[in-house]
């Protein structure tokens, strides 16, 4: 699973103009990117807070609040991108944060 190019497709609101994408060299970097997006949003809403803390339920609420979110992950064996949904992303971010917490 390491070093698999990952594209995150996102739409932040019902307005189609908010569609965007982010691309990363690995699934792990993509999950970092999603967490960083959420952390930036928290900072925007609470500019006075120095140390940001949140739990997985907060992150899941952010992910569920997006109008659309999916991932395309490159599979070398078929030389194509495979699509993954919001639930997959939530599971991956959870596993990613769990790994970070144990290191």
- Identify the pLDDT of residue 3: 83
- Identify the pLDDT of residue 52: 83
Beta partners for 6?
Answer: 24, 73
- Identify the pLDDT of residue 39: 92
* Number of Cβ within a 10 Å radius of residue 88: 14
Domain extent listing, the chain: 6-98
What distance in Å separates the CA atoms of residue 61 and residue 58, rounded to the nearest whole number? Answer: 5
What distance in Å separates the CA atoms of residue 59 and residue 79, rounded to the nearest whole number? Answer: 32
Cβ-contact 98, 35 below 8 angstroms: no
What distance in Å separates the CA atoms of residue 60 and residue 66, rounded to the nearest whole number? Answer: 10
Superfamily name with CATH number, domain 6-98: Enhancer of rudimentary (3.30.2260.10)
Ordered mean pLDDT values, 10 residues apiece, the chain (103 residues): 87 96 96 95 90 90 97 96 97 92 79
């Amino acid at each position: 699973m390491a070093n698999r190019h990952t594209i995150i497709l996102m739409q932040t609101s019902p307005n189609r103009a908010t569609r965007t994408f982010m691309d990363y060299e690995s699934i792990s970097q993509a999950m970092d990117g999603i967490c960083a997006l959420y952390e930036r949003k928290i900072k925007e809403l609470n500019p006075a807070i120095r140390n940001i803390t949140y739990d997985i339920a907060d992150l899941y609420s952010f992910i569920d609040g997006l109008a659309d979110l999916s991932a395309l992950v490159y599979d070398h064996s078929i030389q194509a991108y495979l699509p993954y949904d919001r639930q997959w992303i939530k599971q991956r971010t959870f596993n990613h944060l769990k790994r970070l917490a144990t290191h």
